[in-house]
A and B are shown apart, each in its own frame.
Chain A
Amino acid sequence: MLCVCVCAYRPVLAKAIQSLSRIGDELYVEPQEDGLALRSVNSSRSAYACFLFAPLFFTRYTIPSGHAFRCKMAIKSVQAVFRSLASLEKTVEKCHIELDGQKNRLTFTLHCRHGLLKTHNLSFQDSESLQAVFDKDSCANVFRAQPRLLVDTVVHFPPSLEEVTVSVSDERMWVRNHVEEEAEQSKAMLTELCLASDEFDHFAAQAHNSITFCLKELRGLLVFAESTGLPISIYFDEPGSPVVLSVTDNVLEGNFVLATLSDDASLRKNNTERVRTSPPPPPPPDDFMNDDMDSYLIAMDTSIAPGPSTSRPPTTPLADSTCSKQPAAANHRTRLHSEVEEEDETSDTDKPPNKKFCSLFFGSVLPPSSQMSTQPLTKQEVLASDSEDDTPGD
């Protein structure tokens, strides 16, 4: 099992890794038929990022057919390969990436000027498939902006700020810092920025909502977008469902999926009891929205495991089309599922959730055949190991 990717050196690869490093500690690498996927997720699983470099990005892209392969490694070690971006840009001519499944080696060879070769051998671990389930195309609110606009927006907020709230109307977008507790409000400085719709390349706000999400990951994407000059598209629906930030050009696509806080600030600072008595303003679609954590969960639909999310109405898991082409093993899904379930259960006890954003939207992708069906997957309860052998080949 050997995958080889060769490309003329472009800083965009290094920048992608740099912005993934803002998300999580591990880099998930998966050579797919439609390109090389690099992914990362944060420890609380509230933020996920994926870059897909199309085969055309590379001068040579060969992967063994009929055999899915994926691995993960510490993102730090990969960053080390691309340390000192500025000097790399001047000296490196070609970049050769080789994934050797037999030797458990990921090899980066940088072909520099004057025939100098720099080889980095990284070891890796096998991993489950990491795939967030999201559907940006169905989002009611879609915006596209030049990275400069967002960089100029973010600069108004202190580096220590964790979350921002974005509100939209037909003509305007407001960005505010999110202040957690009422007690803090008297101390905290509030910053609000108002952007007119014509500053955006595209501005379509069908649902006038406000969402709150982490700024750190957005900053991470901005590092990438600014260096590549690619416009950023923002997709979101309503509080509690994730916001998707994406950059695309003809050879690469990057998607950042970030959890948003569920609707009401008053919901979060109290325990479940309180929440039950005062449901969020837009009434939840079912009786089991008694825990605000539930509203983070999307596409966690067909679970038959006991737990608070069991009886949620089935929402069709729709995976993003570009990132979901490979069939993935159901056991991976199960594994991630079980993690989510665990968190769910903790949240259902009287202890209020300690994380503001909770784990969500993970389940790896269903095979296309079952993707649209609402029929529960019987395998889901099984806590299977993530060994490669169970993976059905395609």
Chain B
Amino acid sequence: MKFRGKIVDIACLNHFTRVITTISKLTKMCVLRLTPDNLYFVLSGKVANGGVSMWCELSQANFFDEYQMEGVSSEANEICLEVTPENLSRALKTVQSAKAVKIKLTKKHCPCLTIAAELPTMSSINRVVTHDVPVDVIPRRLWHEFKEPSMPDFDVSIYLPPLKTLKNIVDRMKNLSNFLVVEANLNGEMNLKIETDLVSVTTHFKDLGNPPWGDDASQDGGPSQSRDPDDMAQARVDIRKLQQFLMGQQVNPSKSMCNIVHQRILHLILLHEDVSLQYFIPAVA
């Protein structure tokens, strides 16, 4: 099991740091899956984390100038590590000016992801900083828990309004209620609603557009085709989970959308060139 990567380009380093910082805002612990082509940050929906799950996929070639890995075996050429993204984020943040950053899987006092950076100095010798971030190696028998979640058989898929706008609204709604209803239809309309004994608040968005999923979508040309465009699909979610997602957002996605499985799940997707981040929030009754 070997892993070694090197980032030289400062824009890549910056981007990589922002992705990891975003993830660190979403979860305390997650699983980092390394494959020859991709890095995945995975949070599987367990009760302990409120049923929320996350899947973030990065193509290594877009970040790393050098990338070498050797998995557990030739037929299972992968490495699965449990990491604290907060630590990774902190380590990366302090080396933003580095000439080069290496990320290695090392065996120190415990298995670590070692982030080593050469910092520019006035002196002839570079200043070297290393951060050893402890990780847990996940045994192969548990790998099945960290497979890509299948696209839910959603009722409605819709582009999101600017995330900043959403955040402002959700932040305010959070003061009034613990739960928020997200509803959307195939006519490009989306509503955010809270309802309490004292007050009902709804924010309406229109002309958002519905992404064309075509044949890729898992619904087999299914329900959304036959659906009445004005018919709303809705999910009632824990407002803190949604807020957390909007708050930590540092990726500046080129596309952001959301899929709703009626009364079951809210599936948020952010796409930014080479990065995709999916976040699943279960609906509550």
Contact = CB atoms under 8 A, between A and B. Distances in A.
A185 B109 CA distance: 8
B110 A185 contact: yes
Given A156-B94, A192-B129, A193-B128, A187 B134 contact: yes
Interface stretch (B119-127, B161-169, B212-220, B229-237): B119-127
B124 A186 contact: no
Contacts, number: 57
A152 B133 CA distance: 20
Please report whether the interface of chain A is mostly helix, strand, loop or mixed according to DSSP.
Answer: mixed
A198 B84 CA distance: 36
Given A156-B129, A194-B128, A189 B87 contact: yes
A198 B131 contact: no
Q: Tell me whether chain B's interface is mostly helix, strand or loop, or mixed.
A: mixed
Given A155-B94, A196-B121, A190 B131 contact: yes
B134 A191 contact: no
Contacts of B108: 190
B131 A191 contact: yes
Interface in A150-206: 152, 155-156, 158, 185-196, 198-199
A172 to B, nearest CB: 9
Interface in B85-130: 87, 90-91, 94, 108-110, 112, 119, 121-130
A185 B134 CA distance: 9
Contact of B109 (A152, A186, A194): A186
Nearest to B108: A190
Given A156-B94, A188-B134, A189-B87, A199 B123 contact: yes
A187 B128 CA distance: 23
B124 A198 contact: yes
Interface string A133-162: 000000000000000000010011010000
B132 interface: yes
Interface string A7-43: 0000000000000000000000000000000000000
Tell which of A188, A191, A195 has the most Cβ of chain B within 10 Å. A191
Nearest to A176: B130
Contacts of A156: 94, 129, 131
B125 A198 contact: yes
A193 B134 contact: no
Interface string A100-141: 000000000000000000000000000000000000000000
Contacts of B84: 189
A199 B120 CA distance: 11
Contacts of B123: 196, 198-199
Question: In this complex, which of A155, A156, A199 has the most chain B Cβ atoms within 10 angstroms of its Cβ?
Answer: A156
Given A155-B94, A158-B90, A189 B131 contact: yes
Given A188-B134, A189-B132, A199 B90 contact: no
Contacts of B91: 189, 191
Nearest to B125: A196
A188 B132 CA distance: 9
Contact of A190 (B90, B126, B132): B132
Contacts of A191: 91, 129-132
Nearest to A192: B130
B124 A193 contact: no
Contacts of B132: 189-192
A199 B122 CA distance: 7
A187 B127 CA distance: 26
A199 B126 CA distance: 10
A192 B122 CA distance: 20
A180 to B, nearest CB: 14
A141 to B, nearest CB: 19
Contacts of A194: 127-129
A220 B67 CA distance: 41
Contacts of B87: 189
A193 B131 CA distance: 9
Interface in A336-362: none
Contacts of A158: 90
Interface in B131-169: 131-134
Contacts of A187: 134
Given A152-B119, A155-B94, 11 more contacts: A156-B94, A156-B129, A185-B110, A189-B131, A191-B91, A193-B128, A194-B127, A196-B123, A196-B125, A196-B126, A196-B127
22 contacts: A152-B127, A156-B94, A185-B110, A186-B109, A186-B110, A189-B132, A189-B133, A191-B129, A191-B130, A191-B131, A191-B132, A192-B132, A193-B128, A193-B130, A194-B127, A194-B128, A195-B127, A196-B121, A196-B126, A198-B123, A198-B125, A199-B123
The list of the 6 closest CB pairs from A to B, nearest first, reads A196-B125, A190-B132, A198-B123, A193-B129, A156-B94, A189-B87
